[in-house]
Structure 1
Amino acid sequence: QGWAVAHAAKAMGISRQCAHRWVARFDAEGEAGLVDRSSRPRSSPRRTSAAVEAAILAARVEHRRGQDWLGPELGVPARTVSRVL
């Protein structure tokens, strides 16, 4: 409607940076650029490997113990065991 981006941002209660990002998306992609996007990372390079996850689950089934016991037994932090379980 001819508003300055800063004025439109203030009227909508968002930051100028966010408003400029939306305007750039609209200019580049049209209305398709205004669709919500996932904030999930494209990659997780430090993710626990599938083999370690399988070992944790197998040990849990076999020993029926918690993270504080399984972690040291498998050589992984107890917090990692907790997250996998």
Structure 2
Amino acid sequence: MPETFWTVRWPDGSEEKLYSPSSVIAEVFKPGLSYPVPDFLQRARIAMERASNRVERKYGFACSSAMDQLDRIEAKVATFIEQPDTEIACLKISQ
């Protein structure tokens, strides 16, 4: 369950390196692909919940870092939600 970092390009052109406690991100996002805002948010929720659940199965407690990252993703996505045709690009996934 290696921690994984993934870089996205937001619709405003800014790039951000995000965190996951698990490589599950690579099951949900693919580098080089872009996702409409609602789809990106749904995928991020699924990925962070799966990552947190993997930590819980291994260590006996949910991963607060995964949920904190999801909170930050949701806050950022909220600034673009009025533009549902806008896309968020997954640039890179690394361990």
TM-score interval, normalised by the smaller of the two chains: under 0.3
In our comparison, the structure showing a higher alpha carbon Rg is 1
More RCO (CA 8 Å, sep 6+) = 2
TM-score normalised to structure 2 length: 0.22
TM-score normalised to structure 1 length: 0.24
Task: Flag the structure with higher helix content.
Answer: 1
